[in-house]
Amino acid sequence: MTKIWFITGSSRGLGRSLTEAVLAKGDKVAATARKPEQLDDLVAKYPDLIYPIQLDVTDNNQIQSAVEQTIKRFGKIDVLVNNAGFGITGAAEAYTDEQVRSQLETNLYAPIAITRAVLPYMRKQRSGHILQISSVGGRVGSAGITIYQAAKFGLGGFSEGLSKELAPLGIKVTCVEPGGFRTDWAGDSMTYAKSIEGYEQSVDVRANFFKSGDFKPVGDPDKAAKVMIDLVDSPEPPVHLILGSEAVAIVKHSEAAKNAELDKWLPVSVSTDHNEAGDFFATEAGKSYRGLIGYK
């Protein structure tokens, strides 16, 4: 059955690879971009399958209009892909207020707003799959990209909670968390805060590495696109999907360190329970609590 996709940031990088792969499969795409003319070659090749839409994802009026145009054209949205975004490198104190706002507006507020705009239609049809394109930087913090990661950590939390909220409605949510992929994320699309004294051994190391051109990601965006197409056909897709061997290694190392820290400080953690709490997780109240937060 032909699926209807709504993809943001479809003219460049991973979004472009995914749009091309979806069209080649024969599905239909509402392909949004700031400059939809960059999709003219795909319009010429797939005139009946692609519907280019101009969209600034930070403009709520444009978001509503783009979703309504898609519904009017195709009648539904089966797959939403919140892909549009960009990175920024610098020390947390060095960013301008505008740089901070821009990161949060594009990488966090926009996917939340677009998701909220699409959900009424998915809820009525009792089906759909939302792919939030996050990052391994939404799982593991690193020096130099703190504001970008603040947005991606937020997107991961939103997506995880949303997956539980939507499960009874037949709507699936997957937070896709790539490592480095061969797009222009660390190239032309990367922006920088002004370098300031004191961060030579942390932030500047990353900034200089990106600027040098020596950053050679291991990820192939075309392979990632195929994975995402297969993902929406899976009856039990993951809530979090890490992409790339580099990202897997980073997350495994980080989780091991977090678990070791948890165990080390466990006596302090549990020491704050109220004296009347007893063995909370063995009680009926504890069982109900576990159900609310989604584990047994």
Angle at 125 between CA 122 and CA 131, to 5 degrees: 30
Task: Say how far apart CA 275 and CA 68 lie, in whole Å.
Answer: 55
Summary mean pLDDT of the chain: 91
Nearest Cα neighbor of 128 from 72, 174, 178 is 174
Q: What is the pLDDT of residue 10?
A: 94
**Chain segment 83-136, per-residue pLDDT in tens:** 999 889 999 999 999 999 999 999 999 999 999 999 999 999 999 999 999 999
Tell me the domains of the chain and their CATH numbers: 4-247 (3.40.50.720)
Determine the 3-state secondary structure of 203 from DSSP.
helix
pLDDT of residue 29: 98
Query: Helices (H) and strands (E) in the chain — how many of each?
Result: 11, 9
Does 134 qualify as catalytic in the annotation?
A: yes
| Residue 211: per-residue pLDDT | 75
Q: What is the pLDDT of residues 125-166, one digit of tens each?
A: 999 999 999 999 999 998 889 999 999 999 999 999 999 999
The CA–CA distances, whole Å, from 32 to 9, 19, 58, 267 equal 6, 10, 13, 51
Going by pLDDT thresholds of 50, 70 and 90, the confidence category of residue 184 is low
Say whether pLDDT at 187 is over 60: no
Confidence tier at 181 by pLDDT (50, 70, 90): low
> Taking 90 as the threshold, does the pLDDT of residue 264 lie above it?
yes
Question: 3-42: per-residue pLDDT in tens?
Answer: 999 999 999 889 999 999 999 999 999 999 999 999 999 9
Alpha helices (H) along the chain: 13-25, 40-45, 60-74, 97-104, 110-125, 146-166, 203-212, 221-231, 245-264, 266-270, 284-293
In the Cβ-directed half-sphere of 270, how many Cα atoms lie within 13 Å? 10
Query: Can you give the pLDDT at residue 143?
Result: 86
- Of the residues 17, 148, 163, 199, only one is catalytic, namely 148
Instruction: Please tell me the pTM assigned to this model.
Output: 0.90
pLDDT of the residue at 179: 82
Q: How far apart are CA 11 and CA 40, in angstroms?
A: 10
> Would residue 148 show up in a list of annotated catalytic residues for this protein?
yes
The answer to whether the Cα torsion of 199, 89, 185, 140 is positive or negative is positive
Residues near 94 by beta carbon (within 8 Å), at least 6 away in sequence: 193, 194, 195, 196, 199, 203
Single out the catalytic residue among 135, 152, 163, 199. Answer: 152
Question: Of the listed 10, 17, 134, 135, which one is catalytic?
Answer: 134
